[in-house]
Structure 1
């Protein structure tokens, strides 16, 4: 059976002909022009050995519109696509390019020689421009693996998440209202969630605008120019917009914001919801399962009107998703009890590419173990407490990082906090915090001690950080999440980056 996901995308490019489709500043491609480009690219890729079931890796140094066209061409051919945005935040690029077994690597940045044929992006585009835009029939089938996305590798070796075209159709079909009446402004990596959101927008006849790199002033200028904008932001992007005087009070032209990728500080989120006057929607999901829960615009309105606790949740399960919280033995826990989040839906991955043993560990009788620790509260809202692998074990007690980060960020001198564990001869592990100072506040040992004392008062002595480093900004992965692998390495060395303000080593809190 022809893959519905791909057939509907091509059908949209045919149907909406003269409408603007993909823009990047002054350059705007219409739907009909995008379709011609996809056919030309598919022809060149086919001549280069890319066909149904073959692997295609596309490595770009940033978010360029052509990457979307290459993605569509790969889908038409039924290829197994692995998109990667290269750069200093990408862990294990050589491993990825070997593991995904590509028939071809398309790139616009230097890539390691893994033995696979390589083709520069500019060379691919030039060859495509010289071809006729002959129609290429959709060769993808529902059960074919259409995409292998690699996790960030923040807790170890990157893992390839393999999804069928059928699962991709199910993911696209239940995202909810796509807000396609506005222009979708893409500011996060096209290799991950934003790329799929762009295709969702095109599938519904909406326009996509790509902004790279992201900056508060550039983002505000794009919103003013485009007039009606929906977008997807990571929490660090929201914080940057709140901290810039030009965008703190609102952004003309911005109508709707989806956000996710990493935990958001409830106090800062409430600040943005109250100030900006736009529709808000949070999506909690994983590469392995797509969107699991949503916090809807109505939920955000209710939070500001008198239910602030909702902003600490990730919402309720979306249609088609079954969710359970289970203990370490796999037993289902009642509401209010903390455990690992398990989910079941049509969108769950086929498995980890080339890792059957790991796939068997996380896939159990149709259920996916997410690796997230959480609990279900009143009204069926899910609250996440941490990642299973991010738990810091102090004297045998599980210390969840998210509550510690939230407490630290409540100190007026702290704009953002990230917590990791590091080895300790006394307690097995100890809590190490990385803090970004609030605007107008200078890093100081006194402020670090006060913030750490706040953690102790709100939680318990074992939660108090024993080491604190001040940072200008938190390093991020390619997906916009705090790079905890890099921070763990820095914490283990007990020395901050020499280019950043010095860290403050704190004495243990009482009772430690």
Structure 2
């Protein structure tokens, strides 16, 4: 039986024929034109030997509409797609292109030689345009691997997450309906969540606009031009928009924001929700499991109206997802206790590509160990406390980074805070903070000490950072998350200009 995820995609392209579908500036493709391009591209790829079960890698230097069309063509053929959007934080491309075992690599940037046939993206598009139009049947099947998506590799070499077409259908249904009546402005990597969000919008008959690269001015201009806009932002993107004078007070045309990829500082989230208005939705998830939980627009409204603690939550489990909090012995913990999050759903990966040992570590009797630490409150809201690999152990006590980061960011001089650990001969590890100054504030030892005092006062003395690094910006991984591996390396080798002592007593 043909894969439902693909047949529904093709059905939407047929159904909404003359509506605007995909734009990237002045040119906008209609749904009928997208369908025609997908069939032509699929035919051209088939001539290169790409078919059901064939590995296809697509490597681009930015977010291009053509890459989205190649993705749909690969799905039509039932190929196993690996997509990479190259950028300053992307590494391990040579490893990825060997590991995903492609039969063909399509690219618009130089790629490492791996012995696999190469085809330029522009050449592929030209060949497809010269073909006679011809409809192709959907060759993908539910059990076929649709995508092998690589993680950022912040804890080692990149890991390929294999997801079937059946799992993709479950993921698409769980994302929730597209923001109706809006243009989805896509600003994050099409190789990650953005690609799926664009297809979700198209399946609902909505228009997609691809903006690359992202910048506050360009983003605001696109919102004004498009009128009613929904978008997906990472936390650093929200911070950049809040800190830019052109967008800090509001963004005309922006009606709905989904956000995720990494934890967001509650104080900064409150700033954005109250300044910009509109509808807000958070999705906590991972490549291995898709969306795990959601903080809904109603939750954001409730937070602003008098329940601010909800802004520190990642919401309640999404439809079809079971979540358990377990201790180190795999026992389920009660509400309020911190442990590792285990999840179970139809949208989970089949495993890590070519990594059976690692797959066996994280998949246990139908459950996925996320590696995230968190707790659930009595109302069923889920709160993240840390990644298991990011916990800082001081004198044998687990120090979770997210509460420390939130406390540091409550100081008016701090726009962004990231906490990591480094070795200590005295306490085993010590807490180090990387801070980005708020606009109008100059980094200083006094401000660092005051921010650290907030941590000690709100949490406990052991949580207080012993070293502070002021940064112009936090380095990010290719998925838009703070690159904690780089920061740990820096903390272990460099000495900050400011090591804040305890604030003086009265």
Give your verdict on TM over 0.5: yes
Indicate the residue corresponding to 1:118 in structure 2.
118
**Shift, 1:509, TM fit:** 8.8
**Partners in 1 of 2:493 and 2:108 — Cα distance?**
35
Indicate the residue corresponding to 1:287 in structure 2.
287
**Shift, 1:327, TM fit:** 0.4
**Partners in 2 of 1:17 and 1:27 — Cα distance?**
16
> What are the superposed Cα offsets for residues 38-94 of structure 1, whole Å, 9 maximum, x if unpaired?
111111211112111111111111111111000001101101001111122013111
**Partners in 2 of 1:509 and 1:43 — Cα distance?**
69
SS at match of 1:369: strand
**Partners in 2 of 1:83 and 1:409 — Cα distance?**
35
**Partners in 2 of 1:382 and 1:448 — Cα distance?**
30
Structure 1 gap ranges (5+): 496-501
**Shift, 1:146, TM fit:** 0.4
Query: After the TM superposition, which residues 90-489 of structure 1 pair with which residues of structure 2 at under 5 Å, given as runs?
Result: 90-489=90-489
Equivalent residues of 2:449, 2:503 under 8 A apart: no
Equivalent residues, number = 504
TM-score by length of 2: 0.97
**Partners in 2 of 1:16 and 1:307 — Cα distance?**
41
Structure 2 gap ranges (5+): none
**Partners in 1 of 2:401 and 2:497 — Cα distance?**
19
**Shift, 1:211, TM fit:** 0.7
**Shift, 1:453, TM fit:** 2.2
Query: After the TM superposition, which residues 25-36 of structure 1 pair with which residues of structure 2 at under 5 Å, given as runs?
Result: 25-36=25-36
Query: After the TM superposition, which residues 1-16 of structure 1 pair with which residues of structure 2 at under 5 Å, given as runs?
Result: 1-16=1-16
SS at match of 2:379: helix
Indicate the residue corresponding to 1:498 in structure 2.
none
**Partners in 2 of 1:338 and 1:185 — Cα distance?**
37
Runs of 4+ in 1 over 3 A off after TM superposition: 505-510
Equivalent residues of 1:461, 1:509 under 8 A apart: no
**Shift, 1:464, TM fit:** 1.6
Equivalent residues of 2:421, 2:431 under 8 A apart: yes
Equivalent residues of 2:450, 2:503 under 8 A apart: no
TM-score by length of 1: 0.96
**Shift, 1:456, TM fit:** 1.8
Indicate the residue corresponding to 2:498 in structure 1.
504
**Partners in 1 of 2:49 and 2:110 — Cα distance?**
21
**Partners in 2 of 1:509 and 1:390 — Cα distance?**
27
SS at match of 1:380: coil
- After the TM superposition, which of the residue ranges 448-457 and 253-262 deviates more from structure 2? 448-457
**Partners in 1 of 2:127 and 2:212 — Cα distance?**
25
Equivalent residues of 2:177, 2:204 under 8 A apart: no
Equivalent residues of 1:464, 1:509 under 8 A apart: no
SS at match of 1:439: coil
SS at match of 1:37: helix
> What are the superposed Cα offsets for residues 8-28 of structure 1, whole Å, 9 maximum, x if unpaired?
111111111111100011011
**Partners in 2 of 1:304 and 1:503 — Cα distance?**
38
**Shift, 1:508, TM fit:** 7.8
SS at match of 1:505: coil
**Partners in 1 of 2:469 and 2:16 — Cα distance?**
53
**Partners in 2 of 1:268 and 1:170 — Cα distance?**
32
Q: CA RMSD in A?
A: 1.3
- After the TM superposition, which of the residue ranges 140-149 and 214-223 deviates more from structure 2? 214-223
- After the TM superposition, which of the residue ranges 486-495 and 329-338 deviates more from structure 2? 486-495
**Partners in 2 of 1:331 and 1:38 — Cα distance?**
49
